[in-house]
Amino acid sequence: MWRQWQKANNYIRSIRTYQDMSPDMSVRHQVNQLLCQHRRPLSSEAWCEEFQREIPSQRNTLLFIYRSLEKYSGIKFNRVRPHDRLVDDLQFPLVCWFDWSTRFCDDVFAQFGIDIGDCFDETRIHTLIDLVTFLETCIASSSDRENK
């Protein structure tokens, strides 16, 4: 009897934990709805051009961020703009799985061959421009090390 009670208790705790670590679909819907009401969608090419007007960046880096963050968040990234804040505007901690930053680091390694796991701190990345700048800097410094 005690063992069954423990199993039931563990099950209830795991459900609560799962809810805490999973995306909040209502917040995700609200963010997407707000973006749809106030922003026109951009093609991926136009999206990259908008970022390149703000900061010098490689198209492949921008497309990687576009596709990755859209996949993690469920947000329609064709309506996201360079100065959007990951936490305040896009609600990233709420709309993504709890491990989105780990997945991002893994995907950066798979795409660019760069291990950013030790230096990436999503709490220090405020806007999408910050994220692009961070990743471009990592890619450039990795390239510099390879050329020496």
Q: Residues of the chain with pLDDT > 70: what percent? A: 82
Least confident of 11-25, 72-86, 95-109: 11-25
What tens digit of pLDDT does each residue of 116-134 get? Answer: 999 999 999 999 999 999 9
Burial code of 52-86, b = ≥16 C-beta within 10 A, e = fewer?
A: eeeeebeeebbebbbebbeebbbbebbbbbbebeb
Residue-level pLDDT at 97:
87
Residue-level pLDDT at 54:
93
Residue-level pLDDT at 23:
86
Would you state the structure tokens that stand for residue 146, as one six-digit string? 């390879």
Residue-level pLDDT at 18:
45
What is the spatial distance between Cα 67 and Cα 70, in angstroms, rounded to a whole number? 5
C-beta of residue 42 within 8 angstroms of C-beta of residue 50: yes
Q: How far is CA 11 from CA 17, 146, 148, in A?
A: 10, 50, 54
Question: Is 82 a residue whose pLDDT tops 90?
Answer: yes
Q: One-letter amino acid identity for 53?
A: R
Q: 98 pLDDT band (50/70/90 cuts)? A: confident
Residue-level pLDDT at 142:
83
Mean confidence (pLDDT) of the chain: 88
Q: How far is CA 8 from CA 3, 5, 11, 15, 18, in A?
A: 9, 5, 5, 11, 15
* Mean pLDDT for the stretch of residues 60-68: 97
Provide the terminal-to-terminal Cα distance of the chain, rounded to the nearest Å. 67
Nearest 10 degrees: CA dihedral of 56, 60, 61, 64?
150
**In this predicted model, which residue has the larger pLDDT, 98 or 89?**
89
What is the spatial distance between Cα 48 and Cα 63, in angstroms, rounded to a whole number? 7
Q: One-letter amino acid identity for 131?
A: L
* Mean pLDDT for the stretch of residues 82-97: 95
